[in-house]
Amino acid sequence: MLQSLRHYLPILDWGRSYSRGALSNDLVAAVIVTIMLIPQSLAYALLAGLPAEAGIYASIVPILLYTVFGTSRALAVGPVAVVSLLTAAAISEVAEQGTMGYATAALTLAFLSGAMLFAMGVLRLGFLANFLSHPVIAGFITASGILIAASQLRHIFGIAAGGDTLVELVESLVTTLANTNLYTLVIGAAATAFLFWVRKGLKPLLRRAGLSPMAADFAAKAGPVAAVVVTTVATWGLGLAERGVAIVGEVPQSLPPFTLPDFSPALIGQLAVPALLISIIGFVESISVAQTLAAKKGQRIDPDQELIGLGAANLGAAFTGGYPVTGGFSRSVVNYDAGAETPAAGAFTAVGLAIAAAFLTPLVHFLPKATLAATIIVAVLGLVDFKILKKTWAYSRSDFWAVAATILLTLAFGVETGVSAGVLISIVLHLLKTSKPHVAEVGLVPGTHHFRNVNRHQVTTDPALLSLRVDESLYFVNARFLEDCVQDRIAEDSPVKNVVLMCSAVNEIDFSALESLEALNEVLTSRGIGLHLSEVKGPVMDRLKTSHFLDEMNGEVFLSQYDAWRKLAPCAVVQAEARAAE
């Protein structure tokens, strides 16, 4: 009982041995992450099309719940760029941005996503995330980064452009560019340039100036806060809001409110598929970073418990004015690098955000949206990585096509279409690859019991014995291929008297393949040719024994290919021995 409680509440595990050392490390990490998270939470809410406070609320209760249920010791849960973009894409289908319905739909989306993640965790469906291949994820993240950056340009220029695809975004930017607000552009461009410089140039500079690596790092992390402070003060002092610079404006000064999602079946029906997509993508992003960071310390992540943790976090977001959250890549790395030892670091971050929500929101009234857009652009362009194209091109063309298609389709048709198509393309390419398996004719390597491809090695063969090694499991997609392949090699006047299928790489024979083998056996029998199998694996053989095939097959099952040859081609074996002796 206690054991199973502890399984579902990992906090009982690490909480018991919580030490003073861990506390001080967690506190330091929490301070750094909080400083990073305050502008990010406002910015990602903006990206999702929600009021700024939704980002802060999404960073309090959800983080606390993840602390209780999650297994990763370094994961920083909260609003992240890709999920914010997916949220905007999903909700703008069902409600007008800026309306109450829009914010409520965000709650419903968080609720659905939370319920799905939680259910998947209880049902132990964590492996579903594997259907997203690494190249598809990489391509999706890169394309999303470009889309997000493009979508933020309107805040930099102070214009009302929009769109879900790259073409829409560019078109809309071009047509509205004439309305550019110069004050906004100056702030936006300056903030963007400053943040890029902080990212690339500041740290080396501070190090050369004699700062310790830790202090230099901290200063670089605080860059966005500096940009926020400077541009807010400038906007307030120079009265730029009256000159058309869009500002964050009134943000309620309160702890997260209790909110209720809209449970109407119509809305749930419309949001179910986007919620599933958000759940899976959020989970994949989160589990990737969690596993990477855990592996560095030899710790383990339980994917199914992670689903429960993220599910709880999203359910929390739904009832406290937030929107879908997940474990973010960059903040988690910062959290880890800053020394976070336990999920308690997350709890302290939540406290920091709660303080901000209760006391600091009046300070961001004059914060220009352009500054927030600049922090997003700089953050997401760090995710854009076209090297994956080069790497996959060199290694595997089918992976290359999957990643290229994902990038192009995401840019051309938006995030939802892009990632769905990427998954489908990966699966279809995999099926196509296995649909025409490598089948090698093998011969005996003189002086050994080994059999190798006749085209790659000097081997002994026997014209009356056709030995084929099938390099793939036999299942419905390639069942007919093997039948055709054997028949192709036995031309009408072929001298072949026996066919041996060497099954060392056959990990499965499904029912369709069994029927194909039966058909092949019938054809060969009618032509007076024997059909034999060799090196059949234990599990495959166990299954074949439950069918009638082994009784109907006109030949034998040999333990090894060598046994088959000793019986079916004894002269060739003797010849090979003679050749080896020469």
Interface residue list for a second copy (CB under 8 A): 127, 130-136, 291-292, 295-296, 298, 300, 391-392, 394-396, 398-399, 426-427, 430-431, 433-438, 453, 456, 471-473, 475-481, 487, 492, 504-505, 507-508, 510-512, 514-516, 519, 522-523, 526-527, 537-539, 543, 546-547
What's the Cα-to-Cα distance from 119 to each of 304, 332, 423, rounded to whole Å?
10, 25, 22
Q: Least distance from C-beta 335 to a second copy, angstroms?
A: 20
Nearer to a second copy, 147 or 388 (CB): 388
Q: How far is the CB of 435 from a second copy (least distance, A)?
A: 6
Q: Which is nearer to a second copy, 219 or 550 (CB)?
A: 550
433-468: buried (b, 16+ CB within 10 Å) or exposed (e) per residue?
ebeebebbebbbbbeeeebbeeeeeebbbbeebbbb
Q: Report the interhelical angle of 134-157 vs 81-91 (nearest 10°).
A: 70
Tell the smallest beta-carbon distance from residue 479 to a second copy (Å).
7
Burial classification of residue 306, based on how many CB atoms lie within 10 Å of its CB (0-12 exposed, 13-18 middle, 19 or more buried): buried
Are the C-beta atoms of residues 344 and 130 closer than 8 Å to each other? no
Q: Which is nearer to a second copy, 95 or 479 (CB)?
A: 479
Whole-angstrom Cα distance, residue 365 to residue 18? 39
Question: Considering the complex, what minimum distance in angstroms separates the CB of residue 511 from a second copy?
Answer: 4
Minimum distance from CB of 394 to a second copy (Å)?
Answer: 5
- Choose between 58 and 533: whose C-beta lies nearer to a second copy: 533
For 249-287, the DSSP string reads -----SSPPP------HHHHHHHHHHHHHHHHHHHHHHH
- Give the tokens for residue 368: 């220009």
* Residue (200 or 545) nearer to a second copy, CB: 545
DSSP letter string, 177-239: GGG--HHHHHHHHHHHHHHHHIIIIIHHHHHHTT--HHHHHHHHHTHHHHHHHHHHHHHHHTT
User: Least distance to a second copy from the beta carbon of 130, Å?
Assistant: 5
Nearest residue (CB) to a second copy, 371 versus 426? 426
Q: Smallest distance, Å, CB 454 to a second copy?
A: 13
Cβ-based nearer residue to a second copy, 102 or 336? 336
Q: How far is the CB of 572 from a second copy (least distance, A)?
A: 22
Q: How far is the CB of 432 from a second copy (least distance, A)?
A: 8
Token output for 318: 């739904």
Is the CB of 187 or the CB of 509 nearer to a second copy? 509
* Spatial strand order in the sheet of 465-470: 451-453, 439-444, 465-470, 498-502, 530-534, 557-558
Rg of the Cα atoms in the chain: 31
Nearer to a second copy, 113 or 392 (CB): 392
Q: Counting Cβ atoms within 10 Å, is residue 127 exposed (0-12), middle (13-18) or buried (19+)?
A: exposed
Q: How far is the CB of 564 from a second copy (least distance, A)?
A: 16
CB of 144 to a second copy, least distance (A): 19
Element (H, E) at 69: helix 61-69
Q: Which of 568, 571, 576, 575 is nearest to 496 (CA)?
A: 568
What residue type is assigned to position 124 of the chain? Answer: R
| Closer to a second copy by Cβ: residue 201 or 495 | 495
Q: Which is nearer to a second copy, 1 or 17 (CB)?
A: 17
